Amino acid sequence: MKTNTADVIIIGLGAMGSASSYYLSKKGIRVLGIDTYKPPHNFGSSHGHTRVIREAYHEGTSYVPIVQRSYELWNEIQEFSSKNIIMEYGGIYIGSNGKYLSDAKLSAEKYKIPVEELKSDEIKDRYKVLNPPKHFTGLLENRSGAVFVENAIEYFLNKSKDFGSVHKFNEKVISWEKLSDSYKVITNKNTYFTEKIIFSSGAWIKDLIPMVNIPVKIERQVLFWLDPLKDKKLFSTENLINTGWDLDNGLEFYTQPIIEDKGFKVAMHHNGQFISPENLNRESNELDLTNIRNFLEEYIPDANGDLLESRVCVYTDTPDLDFIIDFHPNDKNIIICSPCSGHGFKFTPAIGEICSKMIREEKIDFNLNEFSLTRFV
């Protein structure tokens, strides 16, 4: 295709943008993707080795069919990838009487997802390094695991290029406008024309579409990898699973076992500092690490060893922490996608497939009403 024209321009080539490029180009659609950086990069939400994938979804039952489709697509991709894309080794929600566990049970019951309820002493007996309080219980699902962030984005971008997509990296969109029967997108390097647009630019999406009410906040989050103090083998995927902790003080933490010898991963979920993408402090600090060490000291003390690595990323949070996947309110040729409130990466291939179908005006197999922009009107 001509270098400045396309059927669809995708603005933002992180998780959702790269997946949309893949599924569109696979169907023969001429795609031009634009990103301010060169994905996978460390400036947005889609980096940091692995993310959790889970099925008994406590954020809402409407997510379950979409994540089940993601499992199918991740495993399909894994068959063709020489790198790790998905691993399934189990996961457990741990807490007392909060909605975290009860809402996960609702999803499990509605979709007949196999789960197992464990008492505190049963958790300790089965996973020797965990130390939940006596009044905590656990909800175990065997299908939980990890998806590999950078590997997945590289796969989507490389394969979509094989299918004919053109990607413009290190190029910033300055403005865009609707013409009579097309759109003009102006960057700091060129001008492009297209019939349709997908905005999947994460933390930058609000600035790119100021005429639409997209009430998102950008939340700073820090990921840590530590070297366990002892019994390192007990932190491997053979002996440990993902954990999600709903603490009595309202804080949430999650962990992943040692994968590819990267160290034991732990992070706080939400309760981060709200910032703008431009003033994000990309270095972890003593307070960030102190919060993590205080959590570990009480609940997983043997993990509280030397710091191996840290990464700063962002959540693009909506007020209700649900996704946005919708058409522009006044234009069915524009899709607004990807404010995922810190729990979106596991859905990447399914959302890419959904955006591909929306652009091609095909029937969507899922109810997307909860992800509509109209809820903010």
- b/e per residue, 208-247, with b = 16+ CB within 10 A? bbeebebebbbbbbbbbbbebeeebebbebebbbbbbbbb
Among residues 58, 69, 196, 346, the one annotated as catalytic is: 346
Closest of 301, 297, 296 to residue 231, by C-alpha: 301
Architecture of domain 5-45+150-215+321-376: 3-Layer(bba) Sandwich (3.50)
Alpha-carbon gap, residue 312 to 294, rounded angstroms: 19
Residue 240, pLDDT > 60, answer: yes
Q: What is the largest CA-CA distance in the chain?
A: 67
Answer yes or no: 343 catalytic: no
Answer yes or no: 346 catalytic: yes
pLDDT of 278: 73
Domain with CATH 3.50.50.60 in the chain: 5-45+150-215+321-376
Domain with CATH 3.30.9.10 in the chain: 91-142+217-317
Among residues 51, 58, 196, 206, the one annotated as catalytic is: 51
Answer yes or no: 69 catalytic: no
Closest of 145, 147, 146, 157 to residue 41, by C-alpha: 157
pLDDT digits (tens, 9 = 90+) for 109-125: 999 999 999 999 999 99
Task: State whether CATH 3.30.9.10 applies to domain 91-142+217-317.
Answer: yes
pLDDT digits (tens, 9 = 90+) for 47-101: 899 999 999 999 999 999 999 999 999 999 999 999 999 999 999 999 997 788 9
Among residues 30, 47, 159, 168, the one annotated as catalytic is: 47
Average pLDDT over residues 157-173: 97
Q: Is the pTM of this model over 0.85?
A: yes
Among residues 217, 269, 270, 360, the one annotated as catalytic is: 269
Among residues 265, 340, 343, 355, the one annotated as catalytic is: 265
Average pLDDT over residues 327-348: 95
pLDDT digits (tens, 9 = 90+) for 269-326: 999 988 887 776 778 889 999 999 999 999 999 999 999 999 999 999 999 999 999 9
Cα 225 to Cα 124, 207, 265, 289: the distances in Å are 22, 33, 4, 11
**92: three-class secondary structure by DSSP:** strand
pLDDT of 275: 86
Answer yes or no: 313 catalytic: yes
For residue 128, give both structure tokens. Answer: 């020797």
For residue 258, give both structure tokens. Answer: 């040692």
pLDDT of 2: 59
Among residues 36, 50, 255, 348, the one annotated as catalytic is: 50
Answer yes or no: 194 catalytic: no
